[in-house]
Amino acid sequence: MSRTTRSVVSAFAVLILVAALAFIYASPYIALNRVKRAADARDAQTVNQYVDFPALRASLKEQVGALLTRRVDIQKSGNPLAIIGAMIGAALVGPLVDSYATPDGVAAILNGIPPRGEPGEQPPQAAPSNAASSGVATAQHAPKEPPQASAGYRSLNTFVVTYQHGAGDARYSAIFHRYGLVSWKLVAVDLNG
**pTM of the prediction?**
0.77
What would the pLDDT profile of 23-62 be if each residue is shown by its tens digit? 999 999 999 999 999 988 888 899 999 999 999 999 998 8
Is the pLDDT at 111 greater than 90? The verdict is no
Gap between the Cα atoms of 137 and 121, Å rounded:
16
Gap between the Cα atoms of 180 and 32, Å rounded:
16
| Mean pLDDT to the nearest integer, 6-16 | 93
Nearest to 71 by CA among 86, 60, 81: 86
Is the pLDDT at 70 greater than 50? The verdict is yes
- For a pLDDT cut of 90, what percent of the chain falls above it? 40
Is the pLDDT at 19 greater than 90? The verdict is yes
pLDDT of residue 98: 85
Gap between the Cα atoms of 165 and 149, Å rounded:
9
| Mean pLDDT to the nearest integer, 98-105 | 87
What would the pLDDT profile of 152-173 be if each residue is shown by its tens digit? 999 999 999 999 866 566 789 9
